[in-house]
Amino acid sequence: MFMNIYIYILFFSFLFFSYKYVYTCLNMHVLNIF
């Protein structure tokens, strides 16, 4: 049970950081275009 919770926390933190990274990259790309 606790291991499942730990895996879910890891997974969601990974999703959050990947989303943040992609969002930052997209913003940089848009800024470079304009």
Q: Tell me, what's the pLDDT at 12?
A: 96
Q: Structure pTM? A: 0.54
pLDDT digits over 1-34, tens only? 677 899 999 999 999 999 999 988 888 877 776 5
* Angle (nearest 5°) at CA 8 between 11 and 1: 150
Q: Tell me, what's the pLDDT at 33?
A: 65
Q: Locate tokens 């930052």: which residue?
A: 24
CA-based radius of gyration for the chain = 15
